[in-house]
């Protein structure tokens, strides 16, 4: 049984976190340096952006955790440390400073950066702030979360309690992501911790599988960023028998992981740059999962659909249009569409054709903060869900002067 709890990345035994303003960002009110530490070395797995342009921290992190272990995560906001001279050396220096401050091996440090691309990252404010960063460690998941945020407007945290082999385990995470969010792993920064004992190999298998139906199904604006990664650390302090193969224990762990990642997906999508609404696209009765995912992604990525949702306009034709150009093999004459929210559900299309519906009721449903477009393909039993947000005037304002 999965139980939702508080705590974020500090929910699991043996993990502490903190965040401070080091001076990387000009605004002193914004934290810009985060640290997560495990009491003991943890099995670690990660997935990375597929963008060919990758931030230096990703390269360093991938090398550091190639042995399947890590003990700390350091992350700065305000500068992506990407496409700049000496980027890898700076990322390695961040690992070295963390290691020296904590008394661990530099190869056991995950390093991440987020912010403006193409500008040098000054290591001096980070170096001067390491003791303060260490001193901030505690049950401080929220402060840690704030330190990795860029254009995010709210913290994104989730945690659960679950049982593996009669041992109570915990799993929690924090995320940042508001713009440059698009399906193609990882499209954000996500740090997940658990006290469950899971081998590095099975941790990687769980994460790589989970993202296909969670983080790869989120889109805000169609841009896949350069610095995105999802990292999971498992320190085994719940003292369950280590999960080293598929089976009942692995399935329970997967359920816990999925519960947290889905929650974070919804938070990321709902906090899209300039967004006023969380959009969820549920596709059912598809011939296969690939078709369901293709349709869901296409609709959630449609700028016309996103704009219609901003205006609370039940323009279902834009849904059909997005399905039509998705290249999914569907029978358009079987498609049913409805919109739903806390105000109810309203059918707007049956067998690929419009039906009479109340525009007043549609407006009432679509004025809510969370909206679901339900698409029934009537061609099988597969299903998929994608998450996104509406497209507003503020998205352009935010990105028009992001660098300056």
Compute the distance between CA of residue 172 and CA of residue 158 in angstroms, rounded to an integer: 6
- Structure confidence by residue, pLDDT tens digits, 166-200: 999 999 999 997 655 555 554 589 999 999 999 99
* CATH class held by domain 3-270: alpha beta
278-400 matches 3-270 in CATH topology: no
Contact between 344 and 361 under an 8 Å Cβ cutoff? The reply is yes
Q: Which positions are catalytic?
A: 187
Contact between 77 and 149 under an 8 Å Cβ cutoff? The reply is yes
Instruction: Give the 3-state DSSP-derived string for 45-68, with helices as H, strands as E and coil as C.
Output: EEEECCCCCCCHHHHHHHHHHHHC
- Structure confidence by residue, pLDDT tens digits, 39-96: 999 999 999 987 777 789 999 999 999 999 999 999 999 999 988 889 999 999 999 9
- Structure confidence by residue, pLDDT tens digits, 189-243: 999 999 999 999 999 999 999 999 998 898 875 555 666 899 999 999 999 999 9
Domain parsing of the chain, residue ranges: 3-270, 278-400
Whole-number pLDDT of residue 186: 44
Quick one: CA dihedral 206, 224, 401, 404, positive or negative?
A: positive
Topology at the third CATH level for domain 278-400 = Ubiquitin-like (UB roll) (3.10.20)
**pTM for the whole thing?**
0.89
Whole-number pLDDT of residue 218: 87
DSSP bridge pairs for 179: none
């Amino acid at each position: 049984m999965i139980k939702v709890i508080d705590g974020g990345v500090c929910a699991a035994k043996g993990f502490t976190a903190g965040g401070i303003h080091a001076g990387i960002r000009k605004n002193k009110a914004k934290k810009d340096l985060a640290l997560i530490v495990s009491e003991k070395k943890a099995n670690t797995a990660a997935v990375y952006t597929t963008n060919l342009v990758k931030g230096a921290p990703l390269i360093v992190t991938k090398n550091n955790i190639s042995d399947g272990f890590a003990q700390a995560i350091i992350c700065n906001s305000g500068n992506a440390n990407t496409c700049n001279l000496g980027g890898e050396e700076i990322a390695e220096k961040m690992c070295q400073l963390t290691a020296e401050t904590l008394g661990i091996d530099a190869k056991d440090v995950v390093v991440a950066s987020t912010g403006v691309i193409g500008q040098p990252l000054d290591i001096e404010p980070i170096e001067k702030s390491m003791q303060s960063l260490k001193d901030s460690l505690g049950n401080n998941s929220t402060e840690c979360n704030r330190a990795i945020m860029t254009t995010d407007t709210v913290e994104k945290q989730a945690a659960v309690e679950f049982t593996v082999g009669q041992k109570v385990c915990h799993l929690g995470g924090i995320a940042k992501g508001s713009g440059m969010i698009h399906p193609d792993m990882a499209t954000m920064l996500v740090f997940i911790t658990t006290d469950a004992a899971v081998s590095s190999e099975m941790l990687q298998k769980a994460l790589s599988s989970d993202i296909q139906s969670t983080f790869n199904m989120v889109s805000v604006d169609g841009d896949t960023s350069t610095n995105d990664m999802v990292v999971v650390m498992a320190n085994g302090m719940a003292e369950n028998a280590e999960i080293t193969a598929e089976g009942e224990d692995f399935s329970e762990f997967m359920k816990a992981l999925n519960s947290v990642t889905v929650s974070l997906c919804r938070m990321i999508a709902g906090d899209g740059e300039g967004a006023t609404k969380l959009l969820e696209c549920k596709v059912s009765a598809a011939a296969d999962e690939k078709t369901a995912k293709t349709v869901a992604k296409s609709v959630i990525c449609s700028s016309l659909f996103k704009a219609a949702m901003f205006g609370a306009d039940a323009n279902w034709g834009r849904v059909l249009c997005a399905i039509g150009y998705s290249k999914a093999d569907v029978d358009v004459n079987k498609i049913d569409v409805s919109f739903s929210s806390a105000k109810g559900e309203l059918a707007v299309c049956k067998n690929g054709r419009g039906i009479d519906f109340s525009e007043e009721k549609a407006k009432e449903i679509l004025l809510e903060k969370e909206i679901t477009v339900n698409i029934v393909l009537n061609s099988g039993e597969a299903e998929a869900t994608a998450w996104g947000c509406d497209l507003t005037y503020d998205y352009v304002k935010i990105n028009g002067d992001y660098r300056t």
